[in-house]
Amino acid sequence: MAMGENNEIPVRFPVLIGDIGGTNARFAIIVDANSEPKEFPVVQTADYPTIEAAIQAAVLGRTSLLPLSAVLAVAGPVNGDEIDLTNCSWVVKPLQMEETLGLKDVTVLNDFEAQALAVVALDEHDMEKIGGGTGEDYGSRLVLGPGTGLGVAGLINWHRTWIPVPGEGGHTDVGPRTEREAQIWPQLERIEGRVSAEQLLCGRGLVNIYNAFAKTDGTPDRFTTPAEISAAGLEGSDPAASEALALFVTVLGRVAGDLALVFMSRGGVFLTGGIARQIIPALKTGAFRAAFEDKAPHSALLRAMPVQVVTHPMAALIGLSAYARMPSRFGVTTAGRRWILD
């Protein structure tokens, strides 16, 4: 087995592409460079002991196509040939996948690299704008996605080549800014004493905020899932849920604004994932933009930056497909992340 060092070796078709998150895994196969991806039903990672078992049951068991290569995006840092996922028990082992699945070439990227690739591969109708001006065509971009965790990536352009910048920006610290927030902050669940952005801006984070409001006010915590809380918050049928959703949106705006300054995202900020799609009405109330732009002395800079919610449910697969068809369009480093069968 040899580990690929660059993008000059073309990916061999058919190509299996996969977006592996903490809760769900999405797969498709691209037959050749000119074909659209053939998508398969979304699977829950908890239903399968390994990624190989999921691929066998959900993909290979449903088609006669036999992929020669795989390009996968996983929720966690890619470091070595045994890749632990941050919020999932699967361990991705590219060398083992080649042996058990008959693959000749496996590339593994970070899941938010794939989301970053998607924002230059999707059409305008796959997005919904949340204020701001018009993004620069080749300006740097920020991709932010609350889901099982909080994913963050940047996208920069150099000589018309899009270069994704993966990271773990979801684990930065956040703190209270108002008296009401200071009241609930002691009730928030922590990890080793810290309240990170991911402790608030993900599915379990919304539950964390909701429980903190209920404990602070001594009210019953009627809901236990993010879907219940967001639905009640959008309906206005439960005060704690409404307040929790409002704070979720506000903190998301603050964190997005902070990271937009880090990346100088004149090309735009892109919110991805199912949670962002589900709470678009809450994002449009004005609280998100107010928090996003509240960055004196650079408020004018933030006001000009457009924010888009990516509404395509398979955005990461679109990004991976674009990369597999034309790797030269993207400056994706594959050294240490591509395994080619000799």
Torsion sign (Cα): 39, 164, 134, 151: positive
* 3-class secondary-structure state, position 303: helix
Helix segments in 218-328, DSSP class H = 226-235, 239-263, 274-278, 280-283, 287-293, 299-304, 315-325
Domain boundaries, the chain: 2-116+314-340, 123-311
Q: For residue 162, is pLDDT > 90?
A: yes
Reply yes or no on whether the pLDDT at 2 is more than 50: no
**CATH class label, 2-116+314-340:** alpha beta
**Element (DSSP H or E) covering residue 108:** strand 105-110
- Predicted TM-score (pTM) above 0.85: yes
pLDDT of residue 76: 77
Q: Cα(207)–Cα(15) distance, rounded to whole angstroms?
A: 38
Could you identify the residue written with the tokens 């984070």?
Answer: 205
Residues in the chain: 342
CA 154/CA 143 separation, integer angstroms: 6
Distance CA 21, CA 26 (A): 8
Alpha-carbon gap, residue 305 to 134, rounded angstroms: 7
pLDDT > 50? residue 193: yes
Q: What is the CATH number of domain 123-311?
A: 3.40.367.20
Strands 141-146 and 268-271: parallel
What is the C-alpha R_g of the chain? 20
Q: What is the pLDDT of residues 237-285, one digit of tens each?
A: 999 999 999 999 999 999 999 999 999 999 999 999 899 999 999 999 9
Pairing of strands 161-166, 150-158: antiparallel
φ/ψ of residue 128, rounded to 5: -130, 125
Judged against a pLDDT cut of 50, whether residue 83 lies above it is answered with yes
**Position 8 confidence tier, pLDDT thresholds 50, 70, 90:** low
Q: Which two tokens stand for residue 261?
A: 């300054």
